[in-house]
């Protein structure tokens, strides 16, 4: 009886050991090399070309068991793509994800003299495997493309979303509600400060959407900001204890391209001075009895009103004809007014002092001035939150000077 009991116990133990061995083998079969995976964030500084001024980032997956290092890059576009420029103008850009050898990416960025920083992230084996599987899924032909947006679906926010999903929302919890007080406009202008004309064009085209204060979660559309924000994020490790998400940081290359300023340039006083000086010059020349003095006024007036009129049509197109949410309801329409195109005949004949043309334009010109004046008044109203005071103090004096030139009764030229 005792012998039978020992035999029964031995059989039970054998079955249990066999079950545990089978379960372990099954786990290894379903998640091969899971513990050998390492996740990093690669952050690249601004580049020399204007579309590289925001910087870039990528997810790095290292499989130490297989000896593979892959960089997953979002924000890949192709000028050769069908209807690329049309889709770009209408805000329907289709960008994609790509997987590249890490060494190739690093070599490319070194050649461009861009800074490269790698942050090793604390992912559990299960989280690393989930992230790897999601990125592989994203690379499938049916999933590889996505609709691009400068602020909510760019190269950095797509990286952020992929990492956050694998971490169960830890990044969003650690960055949401915390803010440096920046807005989309402030970041955009400071990052484009090295290209002044493009910076000013972006500033004119952005509407009030870009002036809302954003937290670190939203501001992570800037790769460098996202990299810094990760240093404050904490996650739950494999042992259940809280730990920093960033396990270590390595500067791979310093880069030689100048970093963007911390704040965008303040244009209010320079634009006040420029607007007043130009307006006084226009007014002084318009009062002259000499036709030769009026010619510069006519030429400047035509160019100025053409710029304002066409600029207004572009802003209307961005609002009603595109998916660029950041350009909707642009208050600069009060300054760049399509009605300005109606003033061109009056200004074109200004040097010849044609009374009929002046009468035609005199009504429209004061409507233009009135709308520009309302733009200044609107800054005290809570419904007009766009940060465009610098444009108002530039355009309003010039609109007023042109209005006085067009509507005043001119004596006969000598």
| Percent of the chain surpassing pLDDT 70 | 87
Residue 373: its pLDDT value, please? 97
Q: List residues bridging with 41 in a β-sheet.
A: 59, 119
**Domain limits of the chain?**
32-253, 268-407
Task: State pLDDT tens for residues 319-366.
Answer: 999 999 999 999 999 999 999 999 988 888 776 655 555 555 678 899
Residue 308: its pLDDT value, please? 97
Residue 359: its pLDDT value, please? 58
Q: 3-state DSSP call for residue 55?
A: coil
Q: Which of 13-27, 58-72, 287-301 shows the lowest per-residue confidence on average (mean pLDDT)? A: 13-27
Task: Give dist(CA 282, CA 18) in Å, integer.
Answer: 95
| Percent of the chain surpassing pLDDT 90 | 73
User: How deeply is 35 buried, as exposed, middle or buried, from its count of CB atoms within 10 A (0-12, 13-18, 19+)?
Assistant: middle
Those residues with Cβ within 8 angstroms of residue 138's Cβ, 6 or more apart along the chain or in another chain: 72, 97, 144, 162
Q: Is the pLDDT of residue 244 over 70?
A: yes
Q: Which two tokens stand for residue 253?
A: 């290359």
Q: Is the pLDDT of residue 13 over 50?
A: no
Residue 35: its pLDDT value, please? 66
CB 361 within 8 A of CB 341: no
Q: Is the pLDDT of residue 384 over 80?
A: yes
Q: At what angle do helices 291-320 and 268-286 cross, to 10 degrees?
A: 140
Q: Mean of the per-residue pLDDT values for the chain?
A: 87
Residue 357: its pLDDT value, please? 52
Classify residue 409 by its DSSP letter: P
Q: How confident is the model at residue 312 (pLDDT cuts 50, 70, 90)?
A: very high
Neighbours of 371 (CB within 10 A): 15
Residue 291: its pLDDT value, please? 76
Degrees (nearest 5) of the Cα angle 91, 264, 115? 80
Phi and psi at 218, nearest 5°, equal -75, -35
CA neighbours within 13 Å on the CB side: how many for 269? 2
Q: How confident is the model at residue 240 (pLDDT cuts 50, 70, 90)?
A: confident
Task: State pLDDT tens for residues 197-227.
Answer: 999 999 999 999 999 999 999 999 999 999 9
Residue 81: its pLDDT value, please? 76
Q: Report the predicted TM-score, pTM, of the whole model to 2 decimal places.
A: 0.86
Residue 328: its pLDDT value, please? 96
Q: Is the pLDDT of residue 195 over 90?
A: yes
286-289 long-range contacts (CB < 8 A, ≥24 apart) are 286/350, 286/401, 286/404, 286/405, 286/408, 287/408, 289/411, 289/413, 289/414
Task: State pLDDT tens for residues 70-109.
Answer: 999 999 988 777 778 888 888 889 999 999 999 999 999 9
């Amino acid at each position: 009886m005792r012998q039978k009991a020992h035999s029964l116990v031995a059989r039970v133990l054998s079955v249990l050991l066999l079950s545990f061995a089978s379960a372990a083998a099954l786990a290894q079969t379903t998640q091969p090399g899971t513990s050998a995976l390492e996740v990093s964030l690669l952050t690249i500084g601004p580049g020399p070309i204007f579309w590289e001024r925001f910087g870039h980032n990528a997810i790095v997956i290292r499989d130490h068991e297989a000896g593979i290092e892959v960089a997953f890059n979002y924000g890949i576009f192709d000028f050769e793509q069908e209807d690329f420029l049309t889709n770009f103008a209408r805000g329907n850009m289709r960008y994609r994800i790509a997987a590249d050898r890490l060494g190739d990416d690093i070599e490319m960025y070194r050649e461009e003299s861009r800074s490269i920083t790698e942050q090793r992230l604390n992912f559990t084996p299960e989280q690393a495997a989930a992230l790897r599987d999601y990125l592989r899924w994203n690379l499938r032909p049916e999933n590889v493309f996505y609709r691009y947006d400068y602020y909510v679906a760019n190269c950095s926010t797509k990286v952020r979303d992929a990492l956050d999903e694998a971490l169960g929302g830890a990044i969003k919890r650690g960055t949401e509600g915390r803010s440096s007080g920046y807005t989309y406009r402030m970041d955009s202008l400071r990052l484009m400060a090295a290209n002044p004309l493009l910076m000013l064009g972006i500033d004119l085209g952005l509407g009030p959407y870009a002036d809302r204060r954003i937290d670190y979660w939203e501001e992570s559309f800037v790769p460098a900001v996202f990299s810094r924000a990760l240093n404050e994020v904490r996650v739950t490790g494999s042992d259940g204890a809280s730990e920093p998400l960033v396990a270590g940081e390595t500067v791979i290359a310093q880069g030689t391209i100048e970093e963007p300023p911390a704040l965008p340039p303040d244009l209010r006083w320079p634009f006040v001075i420029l607007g007043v000086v130009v307006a006084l010059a226009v007014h002084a020349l318009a009062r002259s009895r000499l036709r030769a003095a009026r010619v510069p006024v006519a030429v400047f007036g035509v160019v100025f009103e053409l710029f304002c009129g066409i600029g207004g049509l572009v802003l209307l197109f961005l609002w009603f004809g595109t998916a660029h949410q950041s350009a909707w309801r642009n208050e600069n329409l009060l300054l760049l007014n399509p009605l300005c195109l109606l003033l061109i005949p009056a200004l074109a004949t200004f040097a010849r002092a044609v009374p009929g043309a002046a009468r035609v334009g005199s009504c429209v010109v004061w409507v233009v001035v009135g709308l520009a004046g309302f733009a200044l008044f609107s800054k005290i109203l809570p419904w007009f939150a766009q940060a465009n005071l610098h444009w108002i103090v530039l355009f309003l004096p010039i609109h007023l000077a042109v209005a006085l030139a067009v509507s005043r009764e001119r004596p006969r030229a000598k």
